[in-house]
Amino acid sequence: MEDVPFLALLVHRGLLTADDAQRLMPELQGGASLDDLLVEELGWTDAKVEKMRRTNAGEIPEIPGFEVQEKLGTGGTADVFRAREKKTNRTLALKVLKPECVANDNTRKAFVHEARLLERLDHPGLVPSYGVARSGTTYFSRLGFVDGSTLLELLDGGADFDEQQALQIILEVAEVLEYLEENGVVHRDVKPGNIMLTREGRVVLIDLGFAAEGEDTPSPEDSSVGTVAYLAPEQARGGAAADCRSDIYSLGLSLFHIVVGRLPFESSDDREILRMQIMESLSSPELKGRGISPHLHYFIEKMVAKDADHRYQCWSELIEDIRGQIAGRESLDF
In this prediction, residue 274 carries a pLDDT of 62
Supply the pLDDT for residue 32.
Answer: 92
pLDDT grade for 222, boundaries at 50, 70 and 90 = very low
What pTM value is reported for the model?
0.82
Angle between helices 244-260 and 294-303 (to 10 degrees): 140
Cβ(183)–Cβ(121) below 8 Å: yes
Say yes or no to pLDDT of 37 above 80.
yes
Instruction: Indicate the domain borders of the chain.
Output: 4-54, 66-144, 148-330
Residues 6+ apart with CB under 8 A from 116: 129, 132
Asked whether the beta carbons of 40 and 27 are under 8 A apart, the reply is: no
> Domain spanning 148-330: which superfamily?
Transferase(Phosphotransferase) domain 1 (1.10.510.10)
- Structure confidence by residue, pLDDT tens digits, 142-189: 999 999 999 999 999 999 999 999 999 999 999 999 999 999 999 999
Reported as a pLDDT band with limits 50, 70 and 90, residue 13 is confident
Q: Does the pLDDT of residue 217 top 70, yes or no?
A: no
Q: Are 50 and 40 in contact (CB under 8 A)?
A: no
pLDDT in tens, 237-285: 775 667 899 999 999 999 999 998 888 766 556 666 666 555 556 655 6
Q: How many CB atoms lie within 10 A of CB 176?
A: 21
pLDDT tier at 221, thresholds 50, 70, 90:
very low
**What pLDDT shows up at residue 224?**
45
Tell me which H or E stretch contains 294: helix 294-303
Write out the DSSP string of 143-159.
EE---EEEHHHHHHTT-
Domain 66-144 has CATH 3.30.200.20: yes
What is the rounded CA–CA span in Å between residue 128 and residue 180? 14
Which amino acid is it at 225? Answer: V
